[in-house]
Structure 1
Amino acid sequence: MTSIADIEIPADGTGLSELFEAVPSLSCEMERVIASNGHGLWLSGAAQEELEEALADASAIGEYSLISSEGDRWLYDIQFDPDTLDVFEVVLEESGTVLSASASNRSWLLSIRFVDRESVSTLYDRLVDNDVSPTIVRLFDVTEETHSQCGLTARQYETLVAAIDHGYFEIPREVSMQELSEELDISHQALSERLRRAYRALVTSELNVSEEETTAPPIPTN
């Protein structure tokens, strides 16, 4: 049974430890990047010059390159030194999928999907063996009840998970709707309708909006 674990990991002992030492106000958010040799990480919390100076001085970071910028944050392709604990690689080796990852205040918070709870336990033990002290903030199994709590049907949930796994929501997209529909063996139109219904269900559930409130008032004609 699929399990979702939210795990907090101290930055000490990971690839960002030295960056937090140099830039205590650092904030970091992971983003998957096409054709990346390392990890796509959005960095913020300081001026670009200060961030790049910290990147250059960090022995745990092998190479880095600027990919994009957005306001006062910058997206870098970062490769960690082989001797540094790469938490993302450890997760992959334990058959986990990182759904989201962010770091601030010298701590990572990762939301990870596992095939079962045993994989969660194995990852936990591996981190401890590497002198990292993880904290499991939340752990739950994905069931039909979980779907319904979000207002999703099982098929809508599975479609959204497939869309995430194949990079449909990435910028730019890693897969087209046509390619995703072929992967799911449904028509392009059926996929489009299923996604729209899933979006509506999620927004309605998360914002606690009633069906009456989602009915738009008529648009004035003059």
Structure 2
Amino acid sequence: MSVLVEFSIDSGDFLLGNVLRGPEEMRFELERIVPTGDAVMPFVWATGGDFAAFEGNVTASEHVRELRALDKVGDRALYRIVWDEPHAGLIEVLGETEATILEARGDGARWRFRLRFPDHDRLSAFYNLCTENDFPVHIDRTYTLSERIEGGHRLGLSAEQREALVLALERGYFDTPSEASLSDLADELGITQQALSDRIRRGNEKVLRSVLLSSASDFD
């Protein structure tokens, strides 16, 4: 079963955070990382602040080959960062251990991450690599999706159905427009699209029956 971890790290203690340190009022969100041969290419949203000064600070880094603004909307801009050469950084460790970034936000002082690993072995590998490379991550919490909602109403759901529904909610599958496809979610859980579709459909039916039918009886 997949496992989730929440951790934080000072911006100056890993390369991406250190490179992005600039105007104090700016905030950053890591959208995704894309492997490119021996390296990874981070895509980062920057919010607020002086974009010209920020771009100058980043491109002045000896580690950055290219910083390209892909989109700008109001006080937000999406950037692609290309490293000058491959290196063993925190972001590379995430790629090596097959971590899915659910959330990654930071500023000039500190970054906070929420990740999903395929299993506990991958999580252990991540922690070991961080220790070996002197990345002082502070683990705030580790849990499975089932554990996360253990104290709530079960609604007659199986563990697999709860996991599928919570994942779909977290990734924005039910949003309009949807922020995640059935294929994306199925890949994360390591099951087929048909299996995931069945879990979501059956899970939704149980939730609706439990909530709507039981609540309707209260007014009889």
TM-score, normalised via structure 1 length: 0.66
- Structure 2 vs 1, CA of residues 197 and 61 (structure 1 numbering), >3 Å: closer, same or farther? farther
Could you tell me which residue of structure 2 aligns to residue 158 of structure 1?
164
Could you tell me which residue of structure 1 aligns to residue 18 of structure 2?
17
CA distance in 2, matches of 1:151, 1:122: 33
Task: Measure how far apart 1:94 and its partner are.
Answer: 1.2
Residue correspondence of structure 1 range 61-72 to structure 2 within 5 A: 61-72=64-75
Kindly indicate whether residue 92 of structure 2 is the aligned counterpart of residue 89 of structure 1.
yes
Contact 2:29–2:46 at 8 Å: present in 1 too? Answer: yes
CA RMSD of aligned residues (A): 4.3
> Would you say how many aligned residue pairs link Structure 1 and Structure 2?
199
Amino acid at match of 1:3: V
User: Taking every aligned residue pair, what percent have the same amino acid on both sides?
Assistant: 21
CA distance in 1, matches of 2:176, 2:82: 20
Alignment gaps of 5+ in structure 2 = 187-191, 209-214
Contact 1:88–1:98 at 8 Å: present in 2 too? Answer: no
CA distance in 1, matches of 2:93, 2:167: 21
CA distance in 2, matches of 1:64, 1:80: 9
Contact 2:68–2:81 at 8 Å: present in 1 too? Answer: yes
Could you tell me which residue of structure 2 aligns to residue 203 of structure 1?
none
Contact 1:7–1:135 at 8 Å: present in 2 too? Answer: yes
Residue correspondence of structure 1 range 101-120 to structure 2 within 5 A: 101-120=104-123
- Structure 2 vs 1, CA of residues 176 and 107 (structure 1 numbering), >3 Å: closer, same or farther? closer
Task: Measure how far apart 1:115 and its partner are.
Answer: 2.6
Matched residue of 2:93: which SS?
A: helix
Alignment gaps of 5+ in structure 1 = 201-210, 213-222
Cα deviation code 1:165-218 (max 9, x no counterpart): 8x968999787669989x5217989968978998x9xxxxxxxxxx79xxxxxx
Could you tell me which residue of structure 2 aligns to residue 205 of structure 1?
none
Task: Measure how far apart 1:135 and its partner are.
Answer: 0.5
Aligned mate of 2:56, from 26, 49, 53: 53
Could you tell me which residue of structure 2 aligns to residue 146 of structure 1?
148
Could you tell me which residue of structure 1 aligns to residue 212 of structure 2?
none
Q: Which runs of 4+ in 1 moved over 4 A?
A: 33-37, 147-153, 162-165, 167-181, 186-198
Cα deviation code 1:56-97 (max 9, x no counterpart): 212222222111122212111122333444423311211221
Could you tell me which residue of structure 2 aligns to residue 220 of structure 1?
none
Amino acid at match of 1:146: R
Could you tell me which residue of structure 1 aligns to residue 7 of structure 2?
7
Cα deviation code 1:80-120 (max 9, x no counterpart): 33344442331121122111111124222111112333332
Contact 1:7–1:110 at 8 Å: present in 2 too? Answer: yes
Aligned mate of 1:184, from 179, 182, 193: 193
